[in-house]
Structure 1
Amino acid sequence: MENVLLIIHLLLALGLIAVVLLQRSEGGGLGMGGGGAVSGRAAATALGKLTWLLGAAFLVTSISLTIIVAQKSSGASVIDRLGAAPATQSEDGGTAPASDNLLPPTADDNAPLVPAAD
């Protein structure tokens, strides 16, 4: 169900992009150039109605996908999954640092990287 809804959502997005690009530009930016925008309400064209329809359908599929994903992941947190992960081995055979210390090591933590001059 989720995959079908996702495909419909993507098709709606592509259709919405196409319909918006097909519409006539009023010029002037922010709708200030058209005569219909100044006189109150512009006449609704077929492309305008289709834009509203596709926009509403896109919004419905967005909300539906959000609800489906929220129900699937209820009770599961990323933090919970990180706590259950086993410790990994690093290249030198030691264990990886604890998850509470994710910063890189400082100069005080390790031996000097360059050998001391004799």
Structure 2
Amino acid sequence: MLRVIKSFQYAFAGCSFLLRTQTNAWVHLLATVTLFIVCCFFHLSTTEVVLLIIATASVWVAELFNTAVEQVIDLLHPQWHPRAGRVKDLAAAAVLVTALSALAVAAFIFIPKIIH
């Protein structure tokens, strides 16, 4: 049981590190809170809610992995190097693609409801 508690402590430490060090995490947090407030004003099906949760969680997972990649690159190669920069750019691009996909999911769900 102690090991399970420790694993949660490590996970929360990772979330805390993300919010303390990554400005974009605050943008994602604002978007997440805004999304779930907006959800309260629309009649959403269970499927729509699940899709929004998956899309939002995917953005957070991408941001966490991006931050982990950046930390590893900085540890292994503290000086700037084009290949290290490219790896960081690719990780950041993964976040961008995930965020744009989540935005598309939200648009497909909310735009028809706003129009009608």
Tell me the TM-score normalized by structure 1. 0.40
Structure with larger Rg: 1
Q: 1 or 2, which has the higher helix percentage?
A: 2
Higher relative contact order (CA 8 A, sep 6+): 2
